[in-house]
Amino acid sequence: MVVSSMRECLKIDKRGVIRLLQITDPHLFSNPEDKLLGVDTLASFKEVIQQIKKQIIRAGDSFDLILATGDLIQDHQIQGYEHFAKITKALNLPIFWLEGNHDSPTEMNEILSAYSHVMPHKHILVGEHWQILMLNTHVAGQAYGELTESQLNWLESKLAEYPEHFSLIVQHHNILPTNSAWLDQHSLKNAKELEKVLSKFDKVRAIIHGHIHQQVDAHWQGIPIFATPSTCIQFKPNCDEFTLDILPQGWREFYLYENGELETVVKRLNSNEFLPNLEAKGY
């Protein structure tokens, strides 16, 4: 696999099936002993990475890259980004990241850029047939997400520049409602503007995101949408009030084919070692 940089774009030469990992919402603290609603987020993140590493060793075949879809930290302290970068280095894979509502974008970029395996690029050309477009939905001081006009223009320009490529759109915030009133107020606010852009192009194969701490496999405007479990706490679906779930921490794998087809599977830890405080009413 050959990697070459082109300004804001990174090109990864790859033949055959493209294999991606998505990890999301680790909510790491600066203090390794701190917990989020009873869950040691650093320990659960380490366990997820360790299980992925074991899977790679067993299979004798690795992935091509990792997509980290936001909320890497919880307490707005930069040490959390250090923890993230150091732990993921064990996988020996390039990581592409984007901002979540809990992240601090300036510090995030500054700290993560110091690690050679953590890549700043938001446009990734993978092989001859696919492109990955990483969108920033972060709104300073807010839990909800929004795409700026410049982000929408950038997205449209890249889709127009590579019309022959199949496209994977990546962002932090959800578009579809979760049927949970407390959570749905924190979704992407201008999904209609995103729809206007995407409706002009016929090779957008999926949108993937984090933020909602639960698995979703659905469709929006004819486009598959995939949400992925958090590596820490899980939100229980279909609950109007804040409710945690007992499902284990997880990650998602994607397999992109040269004909534009896509397969995906969610995997989770095999135990309930990291159970949250189910009495919690928010965070």
Q: Which residues sit in the known binding site?
A: 25, 27, 71, 101-102, 172, 211, 213
Beta pairing, strands 18-23 & 123-126: unpaired
Q: Which residues are annotated as a binding site for Fe cation?
A: 25, 27, 71, 101, 172, 211, 213
Beta pairing, strands 250-256 & 262-268: antiparallel
Q: Which residue has the tokens 């997509």?
A: 67
Query: Beta partners for 256?
Result: 18, 262
CA-to-CA distance for 52 and 46, rounded, in angstroms? 10
Q: How far is CA 268 from CA 105, 217, 241, 265, in A?
A: 28, 16, 25, 10
Angle at 215 between CA 153 and CA 241, to 5 degrees: 95
HSE on the CB side for 15, CA within 13 Å? 0
DSSP string, 143-192: SSB---HHHHHHHHHHHHH-TTSEEEEE-SS-SS--S-HHHHTTSBTTHH
Q: Which residues are annotated as a binding site for AMP?
A: 27, 71, 101-102, 213
The DSSP symbol for 247 reads P
HSE on the CB side for 50, CA within 13 Å? 9
Rg (alpha carbons) of the chain, rounded to whole number: 18
Residue type, 98: L
